[in-house]
Structure 1
Amino acid sequence: MNFINNLIYRKFFKKSTLVILLILCCQLKSQRTLTVGGTNWTVTIPSITEAGTNYAGTYESATNQVLLGASVPLLLGNGKISVHYQANPTWNSNLILQARRTGNGTTACVGCTLTGGTTYITVPLTTDVELFRINAILSLASYTNIPVQLELSGVSVTIPATTYNSLIVFTISAP
């Protein structure tokens, strides 16, 4: 009888452990967070005062125009920060948005790193592209005030004169 009880206990314990691990993994996955702060960027395009000239064509925001806060749980190891834009409501396809990470922000995490994103990448319309990654080694990777700079290029007299707006969307996911 003791042998049968022991066998039942082992089978139950193995199944219970598997269920607990699955629940734990699912809960940890939901702990990946991203917050976006900063201010709206209004590009000031200087007037053209001489016939036959064009605009400078490239304009940069402040180096900390967007401030990101992100956390990635230890057991998941890392998180991918991606970006895309949406016309809001009007955009011209000749205008090119780019983004780059200009610093590491603030963290108390020992052994955590940010990789990539320090050179401009073109931000696509509606489809995410990776900006940078967060890697957690020994603890929860929690960062605040990760600065992101934006760049607008393609400004030209050949683009119809109107107000163009876009909404830049940042996401965090597992790589």
Structure 2
Amino acid sequence: MKTNNTIFFARYLFKITLILSLLFFCALRSQKITATGNNWTVTIPTITEAGSNYSGVYESATNQILLTAEVPLLLGSGKVSVSYVSDPTWNSNLVLSAKRTGNGTTVCVLCSITGGSAYQAITLTDIELFRIVAVASLASYSNIPIQLQLSGVSVTIPAATYNSKIIFTISAL
């Protein structure tokens, strides 16, 4: 009888260890984000009259950038943040902003995307753009459209070519 108890206990312990391992590795699965799109070149009209200034606000296509993002299951949440770096020159008076113009596509029934539908000024440090929540399965979204806006264009900014790179990150909450 002692042998049957030992076998039962070993099987029970194995099942518990297996379940805990699966839960642990599912929780460890990291978030993933990928950005695709084309370079956005803003065409600034020529000023032909003295004393005039630029209109100041320029917008890209509503799907200038398409994001693909994944958040692990088991009540996982991911915060999608955005920042920029000069590439190689940027004028700090120029304000680059981003907003989410749609949810993209997903097969996840209980997943959701919140926030990011209004322009957020992009800074040198990460700012939250939107959140993804996965309730009971992997939240996998593709083609989340992002629109860009450039403001602060003025005749007081030295004439030059200004470039920056936009960086998207995703992190757990």
1:108 alignment counterpart: 107
- Point out the more displaced range, 72-81 or 59-68: 72-81
Shift of 1:78: 1.3
2:145 alignment counterpart: 147
Aligned equivalents of 1:117, 1:24: Cα separation in 2:
31
Shift of 1:100: 0.4
TM-score normalised to structure 2 length: 0.87
Aligned equivalents of 1:20, 1:30: Cα separation in 2:
16
Letter in 2 for 1:64: N
CA RMSD of aligned residues (A): 2.3
Shift of 1:20: 7.2
Aligned equivalents of 1:173, 1:110: Cα separation in 2:
22
TM-score normalised to structure 1 length: 0.86
Aligned equivalents of 1:131, 1:51: Cα separation in 2:
39
- Point out the more displaced range, 152-161 or 22-31: 22-31
2:156 pairs with 1:161: no
Letter in 2 for 1:93: S
1:128 alignment counterpart: 126
Which residues of structure 2 form unaligned runs of 5+?
none
Which residues of structure 1 form unaligned runs of 5+?
none
1:38 alignment counterpart: 37
Q: Is the 8 A contact 1:29 1:76 kept in 2?
A: no
Q: Is the 8 A contact 1:106 1:144 kept in 2?
A: yes
Equivalent position SS for 1:117: coil
Shift of 1:82: 0.4
Shift of 1:33: 1.1
Letter in 2 for 1:134: I
